[in-house]
Amino acid sequence: MDIEMSYRRWMERADESLKPELAAMEGDAAAKEDAFYRDLAFGTGGLRGVIGAGTNRMNVHTVAKASQGLADYVVKRFPEEKRRIAVSYDSRILSDEFARVAAGVFAANGIRAEVYPQLMPTPCLSYAVRALNCAAGIMVTASHNPAKYNGYKVYGPDGCQITTEAAAEILAEIDKLDVFDGPRRMDFDEGLSKGLIGWIDAQVVTDFIEEVKGQSLLGGEAVDKGAAIVYSPLNGTGLKPVLRTLKESGYTRVTVVKEQEQPDGHFPTCPYPNPEIREAMQLGLEYAERLNADLLLATDPDCDRCGIAVRGPEGFQLLTGNETGMLLLDYICQRRIALGRMPESPVLVKTIVTTDMAQRIAEKYGVETVNVLTGFKYIGETIGRLEAQGRPDRYIFGFEESYGYLSGTYVRDKDAVDAAFLICEMFAWYRTRGVSLLERLEQLYAEFGYCLNTLHSFEFEGSAGFAKMQGIMAALRGEISELGGRAVRRVLDYAPGLDGLPKSDVLKFLMDGASVVVRPSGTEPKLKLYVSVSAPDRAQAARAEAVLAEDLKRFMA
């Protein structure tokens, strides 16, 4: 790509809102290179990138081009009566505008856009795709990324994020297009007046919430729902659906973190709005301590991830995604058996980087564990395969270490509305029995052994960073006999496809009592290292993990 030529063309033809930023690049070769060295990558995660001007940025032109590619794919692959695309968006900067641009492109191609009239969580988009019999869906979001990012997730007719094959076909259509001349455009209001754009009815949201409430495993049993709960939507989409679900289910002592209550794409009090990290949870923790609450919940901006903290002997303790997932799995299995609702040949689905301890818990209850690649769409696809076999009821739970959970088959993506609801129910059920979640977690560790799972991320920005990550992965595919003083017994390379899973740039190193998974993020300029260590107790596991993590840093230099 001729960067200077591309830059000059954008100066001439880009939307007026982008002209000041483009003008500021004049004379700044590094800024031009980062903005124009490639087209914004499109894959199974759709688009994700920094908001701004250029081919490697999220803006009205790159969104329109991607939308035209999706429209061309839908027209080629689906009959006219199926040509509908559901559209939702979160609280991020320009999310509403990008949603309107995309809907206008679909309308200009004769595809009806079904649009939520207000910002709505990712699981609501997944639900709408299936409820409205759409060919596809898009969710304008960058999930838990910092405020400078936005993105565009694409869903297939099954409500899952698109497969590798579908992404390749859509990308082929996108690559045929000129960023300015390729997309067909229609004004949003014109699309409304012509019936090519329509608002999604409120009943769809009500139906979704009823499905979430239907995940209850109380079976009519009375439990203590009087716990004091603090909730933060982290300035995202979770406020209304989460509060509505909890209120309608009898949880009335819920306090919302005021500073993080309303949608705000600048995320002023949590610059990295990810419930996986303590900084995002800090304000909620302060609320919980001040109000003497019992439980803290937080959902990320598109409300598909849920983090929690519970009161312990030494104040509030944050639980990891693995810990929360294990607790939910154990609760679901207990209650299904007690209620006579455990199906024949039940299935747990988890990702390969999610704690192996979950498999040991599942085995106790006679539940089969299916391991899939990182990404909840693979969990959703597994549900689809069970559905095709006429046995969707076999699926009882799916989760990933990155705080994504789903207990039902009504959507095909992780659902933090469902997670928040089930966590509150699980908390109330144990509370009624005088048991805390921390106590139950310790009981699980005592029964199955302690397992410490950590995530280490290394950022590599821009074109140089991208090349650096490729070099690191190549080096790790060399002969590595030991890590952290432990002999590497086996290396699993998923690049050519392994165990029937799709090809993926992932490596897993297996050692006695430990494993390490390394993979480039599919949505961020990061290399992620997942370290898992089993040991007799927490202290020994922590020491062993520290040695492994320190040794792995040599590859990141």
Active site residues per annotation? 143
What single letter denotes the amino acid at residue 99? A
User: Alpha helix (H) ranges present in 436-532?
Assistant: 437-448, 462-476
Residue 546, both tokens: 């520290």
Beta bridge partners of 533: 452, 514
Contact partners, residue 467, CB within 8 Å, separation at least 6: none
**Residue 205 token pair:** 């949201």
Measured between alpha carbons, how far is 327 from 389 in angstroms, rounded to an integer? 29
- Centre a 10 Å sphere on the Cβ of residue 214 and count the other Cβ atoms it contains: 11
Contact criterion met (CB below 8 Å) for 89 and 96: yes
CA distance 247 to 426: 16
Distance CA 353, CA 530 (A): 7
Phi-psi region at 407: left, alpha or beta (left = phi > 0; alpha = psi -120 to 50): alpha
CB of 374 closer than 8 Å to CB of 351: yes
Question: Measured between alpha carbons, how far is 179 from 235 in angstroms, rounded to an integer?
Answer: 32
What is the per-residue DSSP string for 270-282?
-SS--TTSHHHHH
Assigned token pair, 424: 């509150």
Query: Do residues 347 and 333 make contact, with C-beta atoms less than 8 angstroms apart?
Result: no
Three-class secondary structure assignment of 188-220: HHHHHHCCCEEECCHHHHHHHHHHHHCCCCCCC
Q: Which residues partner with 154 through β-bridges?
A: 138
Paired strand residues for 221: none
Type of residue at 231: Y
Contact 445, 437 (CB under 8 A): no
**CA angle, 136 then 142 then 147, to 5°:** 150
CA dist 358 and 410 (Å) reads: 23
CB proximity list for 369: less than 8 A, separation 6 or greater:
347, 348, 349, 350, 358, 359, 362, 363
Task: State the Cα angle at 403 between 399 and 409, rounded to 5°.
Answer: 40
